[in-house]
Amino acid sequence: AQSVTQPDIHITVSEGASLELRCNYSYGATPYLFWYVQSPGQGLQLLLKYFSGDTLVQGIKGFEAEFKRSQSSFNLRKPSVHWSDAAEYFCAVVLSGGYNKLIFGAGTRLAVHP
């Protein structure tokens, strides 16, 4: 079945530490890939996207993500986390050639300790 998996429901890191949030997808072809962030009570803000080309993409707020076709993964990284990064992070895909509906993972809630 087609799916997006975020294996980590909750992650806690210390401020200044590095971060990696995992995302795997299960589709026959390479979809378009996205990471969104949701702060409490807020909507979904696009962090970055991958459509094609360079497999390492840069986003806003110092985030980057790497697409690995062989692993069907699109992990989100940040070298040094700030307390304001505490939020919920959603990986999402759009099937290329489809009607553009986003299919979301379950999300990873990030807590940042001072």
Query: Among 11, 13, 44, 86, which residue interacts with another protein (rule: CB under 8 A)?
Result: 44
Which CB sits closer to another protein, 28 or 43? Answer: 43
Nearest to 78 by CA among 23, 32, 20, 39: 20
* Contact between 70 and another protein per CB under 8 A: no
Q: Quick check: 43 binds another protein (CB under 8 A)? A: yes
> Measured between alpha carbons, how far is 108 from 45 in angstroms, rounded to an integer?
15
Cα dihedral: 54, 59, 64, 70 (round 10): -40
Is residue 53 involved in binding another protein (CB under 8 A)?
no
Residue 27 touching another protein (CB under 8 A): no
Tell me: does residue 98 bind another protein (CB under 8 A). Answer: yes
Q: Report the sign of the C-alpha dihedral through residues 40, 64, 93, 97, in that order.
A: positive
Using the rule CB under 8 A, which residue among 10, 14, 46, 111 binds another protein? 46
| Nearest by Cα to 39 from 103, 85, 104, 101 | 85
105 binds another protein (CB under 8 A): yes
Residues that bind another protein (CB under 8 A): 32, 34, 36, 41-46, 49, 51, 90, 92, 94-107
